[in-house]
Amino acid sequence: MPFETDEESGGIAELKQANKIQPHIAINDSSDIQLNSFRDFLIKNRGYILFALTSMLLIYRNNLQPLNFLIVIILFFWAIIRLIARTTIFSKGELSRDKPSLKRKTKIFSLVISMFITFIIVSSTLFLNFSPQVGGDSLPYEVSPNFRDGTFHNLNPTDISSGNVSFLELLVQYIVSDDHRSPNIPLPTKEFEKLNLEADEISITWLGHSTLLIHTNNVTIITDPIFGEDNMDPLFFGPMPFIYQHTYELEDLPEIDYVFISHDHYDHLDMGTIKQLEDSEFFVPLGVKAHLLRWGIDEKNIEELDWYDEINISSELNVALTPSQHFSGRGLFNGDTTLWASWVFNLNDKSIFFSGDSGYMEEYVTIGEKYGPFDIAFLESGQYNEAWNNIHMFPEEVIQAGIDLNATTILPIHNSKYELSLHHWDEPLERVTAEGERRNLSVATPMIGESFVLGKTIPNRAWWTNVSDGPDLFLKDNIIVGVIVVPLNIVSIVWIVLSLKHNKSLNRSIEKVTNSEEE
């Protein structure tokens, strides 16, 4: 037998120790076995574990948190593949189940991915075909001049994607996380309080995003009502609303007489909220009626309108449906089969404009000439991006829209509730107020839940500037963590390299022992 080096002798000894059988020891405590196995796993893989933890920490500290989510998903699939590898699946012709070949790993990986894709397709198909939340199927509206070739169209040809930003650029922007896209603490809000109004006074309350309560002593209106926690996602993928210091429920508000919907996207039309309002009267753009009917709203309580249709609701209130520049759809295959719109309210001789969702359009001049001047205009001011600037206004465009509409005051909406774009949560308010001051247009900035009387003192306090960024994040901001994380990452790499060398040497020793025994 050839002479053995110390390293090889140690490897053989380790091998023998690992394979030593001790039948005289009775093991009765399975928990001890599991604990020892787990401890052995940690010791054996300590380099990989340290590398994973320090790498993910470095990614987190450099605002690349979405990459960590991707790593977690990869590790999840890796664990599933390892578990399946211990079974007999695709094991025919394999020498050892503990060390699956590349061919078997590839087959298992393909199986797992196929099962995952099948699950997504089946669950999505079931949801979109059977869930009432998707709504009803709209009928063709050939009589509408805005309906052509099976879908509704904007006044001017409009692409949802502007083409100004490539898909890769947008993907990179989303991968680079930003702690300021949503507030890190409960957002300061005010508890709703019903105001005591004089005969013809109108109170305004912004309840976040595009939900506005417009109230007189005789009439209560609400726009795009969204209440509750789970209403932004068709398949549990959507963002959760920001946490408010004060929450709002329909029971807290005056009885709603009239509900006005701008379009059928999930952040503007919520099945649960609509069902709670079943006794109210609904005014919707063409096609949206089908959703409400499926949700149990009585047809006699629904009025559908096309752009520039007008209706006298009462002696105090008449309304008109006016254009916006956007799109619609709640499923994969029903895009633009319902109309999107803005609203004009004439209430107690006050003119009010509600934009819904819209990119900037020259039609605001026409609306202003036809129905203005407006005492107040609620204009969407948030969730903008260069990638879709045709369908959402930038803050500077919001001010221009207010000027086009001939509005005395504007109130920026469509912000401070969801993280749907890449800008900071408070950026729309900051930029709109700054541009309004520069161009001498009054901008109302009430706190969410704060009520005020139209025509009296307009709230314009910059309440968002007092919102804390939240407590310092220890792992992200701590200097000591930053100093030690890189050396620990290097140590883990060295550990992995030494472990690989040791295993390679051990395998050589095993091979020599096997060959010697055969000789």
Report the share of the chain in percent with pLDDT over 90. 51
Residue 301: pLDDT band (50, 70, 90) is very high
Instruction: Look at 69-73, 292-296, 320-324 and tell me which has the smallest mean pLDDT.
Output: 69-73
Calpha distance 385→181 (Å, rounded) = 13
pLDDT at 511 over 80: no
User: Model pTM?
Assistant: 0.80
CA-based end-to-end distance of the chain: 9
The tokens of 279 are what?
């006794």
Q: What is the b/e burial string over 61-95, where b = at least 16 CB atoms within 10 angstroms of the residue's CB?
A: beeebebeeeeeeeeeeeebbeebbeeeebeeeee
Does residue 236 form part of some domain? Answer: yes
- 281 by Cβ neighbours in 10 Å (0-12 / 13-18 / 19+) ranks as middle
Report DSSP letters for 198-219, one per residue: -TT--EEEE-STT-EEEE-SS-
Cα–Cα separations (whole angstroms), residue 335 to 125, 138, 262, 328, 346: 16, 11, 15, 6, 31
pLDDT at 114 over 50: yes
Sheet holding 203-206, edge to edge: 302-305, 281-285, 258-260, 220-223, 212-215, 203-206, 451-453
Residue-level pLDDT at 412: 98
Contact, 399 vs 410, CB < 8 A?
A: yes
Residue-level pLDDT at 458: 93
Report DSSP letters for 333-394, one per residue: S-TTSS---EEEEEETTEEEEE--S----THHHHHHHHH--BSEEEEE-SS--GGGTTTS--
Calpha distance 363→447 (Å, rounded) = 30
Does residue 36 form part of some domain? Answer: no
List the Cα angle 246/219/410 in 5-degree steps: 65
Handedness of CA 76, 240, 67, 467 (dihedral sign): negative
User: What value does the mean pLDDT take over residues 171-197?
Assistant: 84
Does residue 216 form part of some domain? Answer: yes
CATH number of the domain at 424, please. Answer: 3.60.15.10
Calpha distance 127→235 (Å, rounded) = 8
Contact, 378 vs 413, CB < 8 A?
A: yes
Does residue 83 form part of some domain? Answer: no
Does residue 350 form part of some domain? Answer: yes
Beta bridge partners of 407: 374
For 78, the 3-state DSSP assignment is helix
Closest residue by Cα to residue 281 from 304, 263, 248, 264: 304
Cis peptide before 373 (omega within 30 of 0): yes
pLDDT at 289 over 80: yes
Residue 394 belongs to what domain range?
167-466
Does residue 382 form part of some domain? Answer: yes
Calpha distance 285→298 (Å, rounded) = 17
Pick left, alpha or beta for residue 329 (phi over 0 → left; psi -120 to 50 → alpha; otherwise beta). Answer: left
The tokens of 491 are what?
């140590």
- 390 by Cβ neighbours in 10 Å (0-12 / 13-18 / 19+) ranks as buried
Does residue 111 form part of some domain? Answer: no
Contact, 419 vs 181, CB < 8 A?
A: yes
User: What value does the mean pLDDT take over residues 252-257?
Assistant: 96
- 343 by Cβ neighbours in 10 Å (0-12 / 13-18 / 19+) ranks as buried
pLDDT at 15 over 60: no
Instruction: Indicate the residue type of 234.
Output: P
Does residue 518 form part of some domain? Answer: no
pLDDT, tens digit (0-9, with 9 covering 90-100), for 461-510 = 999 997 866 666 677 778 888 888 889 889 889 888 888 887 778 777 77
- 108 by Cβ neighbours in 10 Å (0-12 / 13-18 / 19+) ranks as buried
* Total number of domains in the chain: 1
